[in-house]
Structure 1
Amino acid sequence: MTIFEGSTALVTGATSGIGYAIAIELARQGAEVVVHGRNAERGAKAVQDIENVGGRARFIAADLSEADDVRRLAAEAGEVDILINNAGIYGFAPTVETDDADFDAHFGTNVRAPYILVQKLVPAMIERGHGNVVNISTVAADKPAAGAGIYGASKAALDLLTKLWADEFGEAGIRVNAVSPGPVETEGSAELGDIVEGLGRTRALQRVGQADEIAKAVAFVASPAASYINGVVLPVDGGSRAERPAA
């Protein structure tokens, strides 16, 4: 498929998990992918994997917790037609055990980094008259999850920015949406053991999702097929279960 032929996509956090799957999917559909990550070895592997499926890619390392490094990433990425704000961190702790470093890390990476990338990359999209931003959110952004207050709050902020940017840039032809995954099987979620499997059983489909399922949804939202979808936070979570009456 060549849906994105001639387009350049920057995917943050693209060396593993959902970000890696998104990078592969966009490359399969014709985009040249700027792979972002922190580890050069994993970045080189992601680029090689993209080339192995016939795609084009290059890697840029950056620490998204550092504002100046985010600005450098935007400058080195150059003209970007599709921005996928996927990279994020998630820590789990109750409020009384969350310190300043945890708080700052979540909001720095999950909110400030996407904000800076939009600030730096969208103006050129406006000049060209087209562009797409897709933010990766989470079901924890609108439903409280025990121990995930800071993570959920940071993603809730990103959801709000998604809707604001959709209005701010929509007149110029720039669409901004978010995809909100449910529990997904990735290298990172594997570290949580049975927790993710248990979350899968809370979904209507009674299973966890796969990274490529999220990637296909992201590719659709960024594609011309979704040309009238703007300011949406799209749940890709297997569906909510109906409330059961108490026994």
Structure 2
Amino acid sequence: MEKKICVITGGGSGMGLSTASLMGKTHYIIICGRTVNKLESAVERLQAEGVECEAFPCDVSDRASVKRLAEHAAALGEVQTVVHAAGMSPHMGTGEQIIQVNAMGTIYVNEEFAAVMGEGGCILDVSSMSAYLAPGLVMPKRAYKYALADQERFYRKMLGRVNLFPKKLRSSIAYVVSKNFDIWYAKKCAGVYGDKGIRVLSVSPGNFETPMGEAEKEEALGYLKYAAIKRLGNPDEIAWLLASCADERNSYLTGTDILCDGGLVAGR
């Protein structure tokens, strides 16, 4: 295969699909997700644009499922880019489910793909502006280190922190905690995988016009009073950022988080 491979989790819609459309100009695209019908529709759209692509069902909260995805991608050719955009927002599940998908899923994606990628590879973990907005005392930062050595203990401690809060708040707390962890974890992975020539970084989007963001659109619009740019973001804008981070010409960029929120956090 002449083109290098780009795997995009959560590639069936929103930011992931926009990124697939852009990255498809230079890469063979594998989009992944849990909803097969959504993936099939996305593949049809991408192919109509001339993008060489395929869909591969994957549940990122299941390590075995992620391993199958990584092995499949590596069997096709050189996996150059992984955009890990799959995730759950607060309205999509329980606190436990959100920790499993957003935190454990990031661990599984990074570990399994680092095992099949080589020099020049890039892993991009999509976090969230929300990671910057919650009080620091909420974050169980001392537990993050266990993600590198004792993942069962890490999971128990993350869930333990979430369960300290009233049940009605647990999904929201799980979301901000998991996204804060994702930023920390991407930075650590940059050091761990640097010797293999793999870059790892995270991108934290603000409020964007996506299907996932639709359920929280009213709240998002209320936050615009703090932003420098008084509108929601367009998925194509985050796609440009992700593609730029992955570009081999950005070969010195790793171990950091890039906040793309229209200046909202700065205005808080």
TM-score interval, smaller chain: 0.7 to 0.9
1:115-194 alignment runs, 5 A limit: 115-126=107-118, 129-144=119-134, 147=169, 148-194=172-218
- C-alpha change, 1:92 and 1:54, in structure 2 (3 Å) is closer
Is the helix fraction higher in 1 or 2?
2
1:20-55 residue CA offsets vs partner (Å, 9 max, x unmatched): 111111113x11110101222221121122112221
Structure 1 counterpart of 2:28: 32
- Partner of 2:234 in structure 1? 210
**Does the CA-based 8 Å contact 1:32-1:55 persist in structure 2?**
yes
Match of 1:106? Answer: 98
TM-score, reference length from structure 1: 0.85
Unmatched tracts of structure 2, length 5 or more: 139-168
Moved more, 65-74 or 102-111: 65-74
The 1-side partners of 2:70 and 2:48 are apart by 26
Shift in Å, 1:142: 2.1
Q: Aligned to 1:185, what secondary structure does the other structure show?
A: coil
1:6 maps to what in 2?
3
Q: Is the 8 A contact 1:135 1:162 kept in 2?
A: yes
Q: Deviations over 1:218-242 (max 9, x none)?
A: 0000002321111110011111476
Give 2:127's aligned amino acid.
S
Give SS of 2:196's match. coil
- Deviation, 1:102, is 2.1
What is the CA–CA distance in structure 1 between the aligned matches of 2:38 and 2:89, rounded to whole Å? 20
The alignment's C-alpha RMSD in Å is: 2.2
* Partners of 1:234 and 1:108 in 2: CA distance: 24
Deviation at 1:208, TM superposition (A): 1.0
Paired position in structure 2 for 1:77: 73
The alpha-carbon deviation at position 171 of structure 1 amounts to 2.7
How far apart, in 1, do the equivalents of 2:230 and 2:17 lie? 25
Greater displacement, 141-150 / 39-48:
141-150
Label 1:240 to 1:190 Cα distance change in 2 as closer, same or farther (>3 A): closer
2:61 counterpart of 1:65: yes
Question: What SS is found at the alignment partner of 1:14?
Answer: coil
Paired position in structure 2 for 1:91: 90
Deviations 1:120-151 (A, max 9, x none): 2213323xx22000010101112218953210
Quick one: percent identity of the two aligned structures?
27
Does the aligned pair in 2 maintain the 1:185–1:196 contact within 8 Å?
A: no
Q: Please identify, of 139-148 and 172-181, the stretch whose mean Cα deviation from structure 2 is larger.
A: 139-148
CA gap 1:165/1:197 in 2 versus in 1, 3 angstroms: same
User: How many correspondences in the alignment?
Assistant: 230
- Contact (CA 8 Å) 2:187, 2:200: kept in 1 or not? yes
Tell me what 2:147 maps to: none
What TM-score comes out, normalization by structure 2 length?
0.79
Measure, in 1, the Cα distance between the counterparts of 2:261 and 2:43. 28
Distance in 1, matches of 2:246 and 2:191, equals 17
Q: What is the aligned partner in structure 1 of residue 244 from structure 2?
A: 220
SS in 1 for 2:79: coil
Q: What is the CA distance between 1:92 and its match in structure 2?
A: 5.4
Alignment partners' CA distance in 1, 2:263 and 2:236: 17
Q: Is the 1:182–1:236 contact (alpha carbons within 8 Å) kept by the matching residues of 2?
A: yes
Distance in 1 (CA, whole Å) between partners of 2:227 and 2:188 is: 29
The equivalent of 2:159 in structure 1 is none
Code of the residue aligned with 2:3 in structure 1: it is G
Kept in 2, the 8 Å contact 1:179–1:236? The answer is: yes
